[in-house]
Amino acid sequence: MSKLKIAELFYSVQGEGRYMGVPSVFLRVFGCNFKCAGFGMPRGELSREAEELGEVAHLYNKYEDLPLVSTGCDSYASWHPSFKDLSPVLTTDAIAERIMEILPHGEWRDEHLVITGGEPLLGWQRAYPELLDHNSMHGLKEITFETNGTQKLTPEFKEYLQRWRAQREITFSVSAKLPCSGERWEEAILPEVVCEYEQVGTAYLKFVIATERDFADAERATEEYRAAGFEGHVYLMPVGGVESVYAMNNRNVALLAMKHGLRYSDRLQVPLFKNEWGT
Ligand code: SF4
Give 103-157 pLDDT, tens digit per residue: 999 999 999 999 999 999 999 999 999 999 999 999 999 999 999 999 999 999 9
* C-alpha–C-alpha distance, residues 80 and 200, integer Å: 30
Distance from the CA of 107 to the center of ligand 1, in angstroms? 30
Q: Are 59 and 38 in contact (CB under 8 A)?
A: no
Pick from 244, 245, 243: which is nearest to 276 by CA?
243
Q: In the chain, how many H helices and how many E strands?
A: 9, 9
Q: What is the DSSP letter of 34?
A: -
Distance from the CA of 76 to the center of ligand 1, in angstroms? 7
Half-sphere exposure of 256 (CA within 13 A, CB side): 23
> Does ligand 1 come within 6 angstroms of the Cβ of 240?
no
Residue 77 phi/psi, 5-degree rounding, is -70, -10
Residue length, the chain?
279
Residue 214, pLDDT above cutoff 90:
yes
Extract the runs of DSSP E, i.e. beta strands, from the chain: 3-13, 23-29, 89-91, 112-116, 142-147, 169-174, 202-209, 234-238, 263-264
Distance from the CA of 183 to the center of ligand 1, in angstroms? 10
* C-alpha–C-alpha distance, residues 251 and 213, integer Å: 16
> Does ligand 1 come within 6 angstroms of the Cβ of 73?
yes
**pTM of the entire predicted model:** 0.96
**Mean pLDDT of the residues in the chain:** 96
Q: How does pLDDT run across 12-52, given as a tens digit for each residue? A: 999 999 999 999 999 999 999 999 999 999 989 999 999 99
Instruction: List beta partners, residue 37.
Output: none
Angle ∠(74,274,250) on CA atoms, nearest 5: 80
Ligand 1 atom nearest to CA at 181: 6
40-67 average pLDDT score: 94
